[in-house]
Amino acid sequence: TSARITLARDFTVGDVPRRLFGSFVEHMGRCVYTGIFEPGHPAADESGFRTDVLELVREMGPTVVRYPGGNFVSGYNWEDGVGPVDSRPRRLDGAWHTLETNAFGLHEFMDWSRLADVEVMQAINLGTRGVDAARELVEYANHPSGTYLSDLRRKNGAEEPFDIRLWCLGNELDGPWQIGHKTPEEYGRLAKEAAKAMRYVDPTIELVAVGSSNSGMPTFGEWEHTVLSHTYDEVDYISLHAYYQEHDGDAASFLACALDMDYFIESVVATADAVRAKGRHKKRINLSFDEWNVWYQRGLDTEDQLHRVQESGWREHPRLIEDEYTMTDAVVVGTLLNSLLRHGDRVHIANQAQLVNVIAPIRSDENGPAWRQAIFWPFARMAELARGRILSASVSSDRMSTDQFGDADIVDASSTWDEENSQVAVFLANRSLDDAAEVDLTLHGFTASGIARAEVLQAPDGADRHVSNTSDNERVRLQNLPGVRVADGGVKLSLPALSWAVVVVD
Which parts of this chain interact with ligand AHR (CB under 6 A)? 26, 28, 69-71, 171-172, 291, 353-354
Distance between CA atoms of 388 and 18, rounded to whole angstroms?
9
CB of 129 to ligand AHR, least distance (A): 17
CB of 308 to ligand AHR, least distance (A): 16
User: Which one, of 4, 1, 88, lies nearest residue 492 by Cα?
Assistant: 4
CB of 28 to ligand AHR, least distance (A): 6
Backbone CA torsion sign across 444, 445, 447, 450 = negative
Catalytic, 119? Answer: no
- Of all residues in this chain, which one has the CB nearest to ligand AHR in the complex? 70
Judged by beta carbon, residue 28 or residue 106, the one nearer ligand AHR is 28
Distance between CA atoms of 119 and 115, rounded to whole angstroms?
11
What is the C-alpha end-to-end distance of the chain, expressed in Å? 26
Backbone CA torsion sign across 148, 152, 155, 159 = negative
CB of 178 to ligand AHR, least distance (A): 8
CB of 325 to ligand AHR, least distance (A): 15
Q: Which of 79, 136, 172, 246 is catalytic?
A: 172
Distance between CA atoms of 28 and 315, rounded to whole angstroms?
12
Instruction: Please say whether the beta carbons of 361 and 373 come within 8 A.
Output: yes
Q: Strand runs (DSSP E) across 63-220, as ranges?
A: 64-67, 91-93, 98-100, 119-123, 166-168, 206-209
Judged by beta carbon, residue 195 or residue 321, the one nearer ligand AHR is 321
Judged by beta carbon, residue 74 or residue 458, the one nearer ligand AHR is 74
Distance between CA atoms of 468 and 298, rounded to whole angstroms?
19
Judged by beta carbon, residue 140 or residue 376, the one nearer ligand AHR is 376
Distance between CA atoms of 84 and 108, rounded to whole angstroms?
12
Judged by beta carbon, residue 70 or residue 490, the one nearer ligand AHR is 70
Judged by beta carbon, residue 70 or residue 211, the one nearer ligand AHR is 70
CB of 98 to ligand AHR, least distance (A): 12
Catalytic, 384? Answer: no
Instruction: Please say whether the beta carbons of 61 and 380 come within 8 A.
Output: yes
Phi then psi dihedrals of residue 328, to 5 deg:
-60, -45
Instruction: Please say whether the beta carbons of 376 and 60 come within 8 A.
Output: yes
Catalytic residue numbers? 172, 291
